[in-house]
Amino acid sequence: MIIDTSITPESLLPSLQVFWEISGQKITSINRDYDSSQGSPVFTIGGLYTTRGWTEWTQGFQYGSEILQFDASGDGSMLELGRQNTLARMAPHITHFGVHDHGFNNVSTYGNLLRLMQEGVIEANHWEKNYYELALMASGAVQAKRWTSLPVGGYIYSFNGPHSLFADTIRSLRALAVSHQLGHALMDENDRSISLLGRLVEHAKTTADYAVYYGEGRDAYDVRGRTAHESLFNLNDGNYRCPNSQQGFSPFTTWTRGLAWIIAGYPEQLEFLATRPDEEFEVFGGRESVETFMLKAARASCEFYIENSAADGIPYWDTGAPELYKLGDDYLSRPADPFNQFEPVDSSAAAIASQGLIRLGHYLEAKGDSDAATRYRQAGLTVLRTLLHEPYLSTSPSHQGLILHSVYHRPNGWDHIPEGQSVPCGESSMWGDYHAREVALYVLRMATGKPYYKFYLS
């Protein structure tokens, strides 16, 4: 990536205004035309949102987008949509024991609504506020219950089963964080109280140890900052067995959306943990011990992203995809080509990573590391600027997606390949659109002097 050091949040305001106008049109189109009886909208085919019956992990992104749209635009109709859809459709996600997606679904909906109340943007109706808080407390405990214990620590296991740790789940720690912040705990057998902060830290440590590489000789493919989508463990003795990948090319290459989840997950947790009292960290060896491993994972993964994305900040779907070599030795020194004939880009990975890069910059600035802060902040702004323009911003009113050239599951062949193309392109995903809105709101607030956008409570 070529980092543009001249971009400021203020310089992006004209593009952000266009972005939010288009975003509102897309949300209106989905509400008007999408058949919700099919299930949650997941990704587009020919510009129209469709579903994929794997898990309902994108529903919170759909309704959370309505809430973010209100936050950015002040359009009260969007707030009402987000409120009513959360009330009518999100309750099953609160007590969904079968997935690792609580941070995606519930913090994006109940969490955003509670945040707006706490900020004074919407009226803090007493019972409505209690409802959101109860939903978030329960969600965090349910997520924490999905637990595999290891000889040291443990992890929230993926929907593949107790042997499986996904890189994605670092962002579901949002649910545990908010629940803990609200004073909740997981009550287990014999009334044993389990700290949600404890499970948050232990999961983050296991992910940092096994899903992130540091160039320290772990194996023959140990490149600093690369990530494994899935880490597998032997449940008989708790030993780590091997990396794996569900949606990437191989266990020994880096699926860039998994990388992006890591990039976004650690900086926002570092921001959250900075608000907690020192005594909460004593059981983990102190605050410095926890912050050190999280920062190490954050910086390594961000550096890998910068080094392995195209000049404009957009990554290809997997850094080891088998036909990348056909793009030429210098393919990363040029802007990404979403219409090439060999390997697709993944704009959703860019949208997720953009926020993480900017947040890491913000965190390091507060720590007094100005040079590193500038590097990561400007890298994130560079990525966002690319996403705010064509060919990534979807300007056609007939296309329901907001950010084009997202990839869902390349190995399974779930992505639409348009006529005349040999790889997926031109389509959008609900997670890509939501995270583009999230980073756009984050930077909009920075540019206009509004309260700092964060997932946790004030």
Establish if 458 belongs to a structural domain: no
Q: Report yes or no on 454 lying in a domain.
A: no
What token pair was written down for 354? 């953009």
User: What does the pLDDT look like over 150-168, one tens digit per residue?
Assistant: 999 999 999 999 999 999 9
To the nearest whole number, what is the mean pLDDT of the chain?
Answer: 97
Of the CA atoms within 13 Å of residue 271, those in its CB half-sphere come to 25
28 in a domain, yes or no? yes
Q: Residue 310 domain-assigned? A: yes
Name the burial class of residue 120, with classes exposed (0-12), middle (13-18) and buried (19+) by CB atoms within 10 angstroms of its CB: exposed
- Please state the rounded mean pLDDT for residues 131-144: 98
Question: Tens of pLDDT along 52-68?
Answer: 877 889 999 999 999 99
Per-residue pLDDT tens over the stretch 261-285: 999 999 999 999 999 999 999 999 9
- Does this model's pTM top 0.95? My answer is yes
Residue at 2 is within a domain: no
Q: Is residue 402 scored above 80 in pLDDT?
A: yes
pLDDT average, residue stretch 348-359? 98
Average pLDDT estimate for 9-22? 98
* CATH code, 93: 1.50.10.10
CB burial readout 37-65, b (16+ within 10 A) else e: eebbbbbbeebbbbbbeebbbbbbbbbbb
213 within domain boundaries = yes
Residue 3 falls inside a structural domain: no
Separation between Cα atoms, residue 224 and residue 203, nearest integer Å = 21
Whether 90 is in a domain gets the answer yes
d(CA 237, CA 247): 27
Please tell me the predicted confidence (pLDDT) of residue 458. 83
For the chain, what is the domain count? 1
Domain that holds residue 318: 10-448
Cα separation, 200 vs 269, whole angstroms: 9
The CA radius of gyration of the chain, in Å to the nearest whole number, is 20
pLDDT over 70 for what percent of the chain?
100
Amino acid letter for position 209: D
DSSP for residue 235: T
